[in-house]
Structures are given as structure tokens and as C-alpha cells.
Amino acid sequence: MNLNKLVNIVRGYFKKEHLEESQEKKVLNIIKDLKEKKAQIKSQLTLLDKEDRAKKEELEKQLMSISMLIRKSNNIIKKG
């Protein structure tokens, strides 16, 4: 077998299967963590005193930011 062909097969395995999968897995883990954080903030929001507007705004801004991050993470997976 041609040596270059062999090298390409090995390289291809690492690039396409192994490495990209691990990158995708990493992003999925990040999304999972972000979703957990989002759920935590949502429960904090429900327990929050309605008068505490500053805190409410802060938490809502965090929720918005997390949603953006989840969207950006999904885009990374889509782009591959």
C-alpha cells in the first residue's frame, strides 16, 4: 500500500471522526451547562421579590446572554 495513502487514512480518522466528534461533544457539554445555568436563573427569577427591579433586570440580562451563547454554540456545531 502506498505510504501516503496510509498516512492520509490515519490523518483522516483523527480529523474527521475522532477530533471533530470530540469538539462537537465539548460544545454539546457547554450547551448542557448553559441550559442548567439558565434553569437555575429562571428558578431564581420566580423566587425573586417583585420589588427588586435591579436584580430582576440583572437576571433577565443573564438569561438573554445565555440564550445568545446557546445560539452561538449551536451555530458552531452546524458549521462543523
Q: Which of residues 17-76 bind other proteins (CB under 8 A)?
A: 23, 26-27, 30, 33-34, 37, 61-62, 64-66, 68-69, 72-73, 75-76
CB of 75 to other proteins, least distance (A): 8
Question: For other proteins, how many residues bind (rule: CB under 8 A)?
Answer: 18
Half-sphere exposure of 59 toward its Cβ, with a 13 Å CA cutoff? 19
Interacting residues with other proteins (CB under 8 A) = 23, 26-27, 30, 33-34, 37, 61-62, 64-66, 68-69, 72-73, 75-76
